[in-house]
Amino acid sequence: EAQVTQNPRYLITVTGKKLTVTCSQNMNHEYMSWYRQDPGLGLRQIYYSMNVEVTDKGDVPEGYKVSRKEKRNFPLILESPSPNQTSLYFCASMKREGHEQYFGPGTRLTVT
Amino acid sequence: GDSVTQMEGPVTLSEEAFLTINCTYTATGYPSLFWYVQYPGEGLQLLLKATKADDKGSNKGFEATYRKETTSFHLEKGSVQVSDSAVYFCARRGAGGGNKLTFGTGTQLKVEL
């Protein structure tokens, strides 16, 4: 089954404790992206990657890092989480020339 | 920059009522336009799309027409069902061919019996 998976689905952590949210897709898509969803703000792009070893900042990259060492994986790293990073995070992937972005199920992160 | 504006919710309708959710976009170039739907506890799914002016996207009884003259892409359905209850997001893709999606803030729809 073609899908985008994220782990964990739910995470509660404390300020400053490094964490990684994994994202994996099995569709051989070149493009991958991370979004955060906040009430009243819709989805905002954090980082994206056009292909392996190619990443770039989205609209709200501060406090986040990403890497793209393999085509299927695109982890999101929070080196020192803060409470304002409490949010619902979505990973998405797409073929380079495609139209549809495929979204993962989301990761709900709470930073206390 | 690119932006998308959609009507605020929540929208509450009775089953079989007519639905319209308004969406307008900034007219930078000729972007592709999308409606995504998010059911409770799930990620977003593409509902329909239109890639050029006057295109009509349709799926599951939902329709939206790309109106260049009014920079709009309103979502409509003639008869909603309880199972349509979800959050609906309008989005545009960069006119320059990039893959970035710019989303509206989302409109929550609740359909009651």
Contact A96 B43 (CB under 8 A): no
**For A10, how many CA atoms within 13 A lie in the half-sphere containing its CB?**
2
Peptide bond into A61 cis (omega under 30): no
Of residues B3 and B15, which shows the higher confidence score? B15
Identify residues of A whose CB sits under 8 angstroms from chain B CBs: 4, 31, 33, 35, 40-45, 48, 50, 58, 90, 92, 94, 96, 99-101, 103-106
% chain B with pLDDT above 90: 73
Which DSSP category does B79 fall into?
Answer: S
> Residue B97 — pLDDT band, cuts 50, 70, 90?
low
Query: How confident is the model at residue B109, as a pLDDT?
Result: 97
Low-confidence stretches of chain A (pLDDT < 50) are none
Please say if the pLDDT value at position B95 is more than 90: no
Of B4, B43, B49, the CB nearest to A90: B43
Arithmetic mean of pLDDT, B6-32: 91
Coil/strand/helix, residue B82: helix
Q: Which of A86, A93, A37, A43 is nearest to A68 (CA)?
A: A93
- Long-range pairs of A63-66 with CB within 8 A, sequence gap ≥ 24: A64/A34, A66/A34
| Mean pLDDT, residues B5-21 taken together | 94
CA angle B104, B105, B107 (to 5 degrees): 105
B45: three-class secondary structure by DSSP: strand
Q: Are B96 and B85 in contact (CB under 8 A)?
A: no
pLDDT at residue B91 in the model? 93
B56 — pLDDT class (breaks 50, 70, 90): very high
Q: Which residues contact A28 (CB under 8 A, 6 or more apart)?
A: A71, A72
φ/ψ of B95, rounded to 5, equals -70, -20
In chain A, which residues have their Cβ closer than 8 Å to the Cβ of B44? 43, 90, 92, 101, 103
Compute the distance between CA of residue B61 and CA of residue B14 in angstroms, rounded to an integer. 16
Structure confidence at residue B100 (pLDDT): 79
Burial of B108 (0-12, 13-18, 19+ CB in 10 A): middle
Judged by DSSP in three states, B90 sits in strand
Q: Which residue has the tokens 């994996």?
A: A24
Percent of chain B clearing pLDDT 70 (strictly above)? 96
Count CB neighbours of A74 within 10 A: 29
Helix ranges (H only) for chain A are none
Averaged pLDDT, B26-53: 89
Decide if pLDDT at B41 tops 90.
no
What's the pLDDT at B98?
61
Listed residue (A44, A53, A54) closest to A85, CA to CA = A44
The helix (run of H) or strand (run of E) holding residue B6 is strand B4-6
